[in-house]
Amino acid sequence: MCATRLNKVQWGIVLAAWAGWLLDGYVSIAYALAASIISPLFFPSLNPLAGLIATYLGFAANGVARPLGSAIFGNYLGDKLGRRTMLVITIMGFSILGALRSVLPTYAQAGLLAPALLFMILFIEGLFAGAEYGGGTALSMESVPPEKRGIIGSFVQSGFGTGYFIVALVFSALSTYFGSSMTYIGWRVLFATSIIPGLIALVLRLSIPESPVFEDMKKVGQVERVPLARLIRESGRDLMMALMITTGLLAVNGITFSLYPTILTKYANIGETEMGLIVAIVNLVSLFGVWFGGSLVTYLIKGRKLAILVYTIAFAAIIYPTSLAVLYGGWAGALIGAGVQAFVEAMIFAPLPAFLSEVFSKRYRASGVGVAYNGGLIVGSFAIPITLAISGYLGFLTAWVLTMFIWTVLILIGISFSRETWVSEDLILK
C-alpha cells in the first residue's frame, strides 16, 4: 500500500504528533546552538571547558526529567484520559518554558541564582517534553493501518530533524544580524522564538479527534487504573531491552547532533554563521535518512528489529572515517562527514516509533513508549559532558570515537535480545 493513502483526519493526527517533535528539535537544539555563547554568561568563574561541561549538564537535567514526565503524564493522562488530552496540555507547558529561557538573568545580574533558574526551567520543561514521544507515538500509530506504521513512524520521527533544520537557519540568520551582540541579545531572541512552533502544534492538536484505539478502550471499560504498574508487571523484559536501545541511541544522538555546533566551532574552527548553515544542511540530510529508513522498513525490511539491527551495524562501520572528516576536513569535510553520520543515524530512528508502539499493549502504550524512550535519557543525557570530560585526557577525536562506539554497542546488545514486533500486515495494536 502507498503510505500517502490516509484520510484527512489521519493526516491531521500524524501532523499533530510530528509538530510536537518539530518543537522538541527546535527547543532542544536552540540550547545546543547557544551553549558556547551562554556558557561564560552563566558560569563565568569556570575555565572554558568546565563551563561548557556545566552548560551541557543542563541537557542532563532536562533529560532526567523526561522519563519522569513520561511516567506522570502518560500514567495519569495519556493512558487514562486520552492521548490527545495529554498532548494538548504538554505542548503548552513545553513551548512556554522553552521561551522563558529568553528572560533568564545572567550570573552578572543574579549570581548563583542564574544557573539555578536555568537548570530549574530545563528540568520542568523536560517534564512536559517527556510526554511528547509516548503520547505522539501512541496517537499516530494507533490511527494508521499496521502496514503504514513504518513509513508514517519515520515521518513523525523526522519532526525533530525538521525543527533542528529550522532553528539552525534561524541561528545563522540571527548570528549574521546581531554579530557580536549575540552574547547580549541574540541568544534571548533565539530562545523567545520557541513559542512559534509551540503555537502551531497547539492549533493542530486542538483540531484532531482522540485515538480510535483509546476511544474503543473507553467504550468497553479497558482503561487501566494504574497503567504503569501493569506495564512493569507484564512487559518488564521488553522495557529493559528498549531502555538499552534508547540509552545508546539517544547518547549517540547527543554527541553527534546536539554536539555538532560545539564540535564545529570549538574543535573544527568553523565560524558561527557557517556552523549554522552546516548543521542546517546536515539536518536536511538526516530527514532523507529517516524517510529512507522508514521506506525500507515498509517495502523491503519487514522486521522492525531487523531494520534497527542492520542500520546500527552500518553506523558502527562509519564512525571513525566520518569523525576524521568532521574534525580535520575543513568545512567541506565537516559537511560530508557529519552528513553521512546524520543520514545513517537517522535511519536507526526510523523504525523506532513502530517498534515501541507494537511492543507495548494499548492498555499502557503511552506510558510504555514514553518511559522506554525517555528513560534512555537518564544515562544518555550525560553523554555530552562525559565525552567532553574524557576529551580532557585523551583528546577530542579519541574521546568522541570511543564513546560513540561504546553507545552503539549498547544499542546492538539491546536490539539483539529484543523480540520482533512485526508479524504480518494483519498485525493490530492490541
In degrees and rounded to multiples of 5, residue 56 shows phi and psi of -70, -15
As a whole number of angstroms, the distance between CA 311 and CA 222 comes to: 37
The DSSP 8-state label assigned to residue 162 in this structure reads: H
Q: What's at 273, amino acid-wise?
A: T
pLDDT exceeds cutoff 60 at 171? yes
C-alpha cell at 36: 558556547
C-alpha cell at 373: 524512550
Superfamily of the domain at 8-416: MFS general substrate transporter like domains (1.20.1250.20)
Which residues contact residue 237 at a Cβ distance below 8 angstroms, ignoring those fewer than 6 apart? none
423 pLDDT band, cuts 50/70/90, is low
pLDDT exceeds cutoff 80 at 71? no
Which residues contact residue 109 at a Cβ distance below 8 angstroms, ignoring those fewer than 6 apart? none
C-alpha cell at 429: 495494536
As a whole number of angstroms, the distance between CA 49 and CA 218 comes to: 53
Range 50-79 average pLDDT: 77
pLDDT exceeds cutoff 50 at 2? no
Rounded to the nearest integer, the mean pLDDT of the chain is 84
C-alpha cell at 164: 533542528
Size of the chain in residues:
430
pLDDT exceeds cutoff 50 at 430? no
Q: Give the distance from CA 330 to its chain's centroid.
A: 28
As a whole number of angstroms, the distance between CA 301 and CA 41 comes to: 49
pLDDT exceeds cutoff 70 at 425? no
* Domain spans in the chain, listed from the N-terminal domain onward: 8-416
Most confident range (mean pLDDT) of 137-146, 192-201, 415-424 is 192-201
pLDDT exceeds cutoff 50 at 280? yes
Instruction: Please say whether the beta carbons of 178 and 37 come within 8 A.
Output: no
Q: Which of 143-147, 309-313, 320-324, 327-331 has the lowest mean pLDDT?
A: 143-147
424 pLDDT band, cuts 50/70/90, is very low
Task: Please tell me the number of Cα atoms within 13 Å of 167 on its side-chain side.
Answer: 34
Q: What is the reported pTM?
A: 0.76
pLDDT exceeds cutoff 80 at 396? yes
Count of CB atoms within 10 A of residue 13's CB? 30
Closest CA to 74 of 120, 139, 167: 139
Share of the chain above pLDDT 90, in %: 33
Q: Which of 133-142, 344-353, 394-403 has the lowest mean pLDDT?
A: 133-142
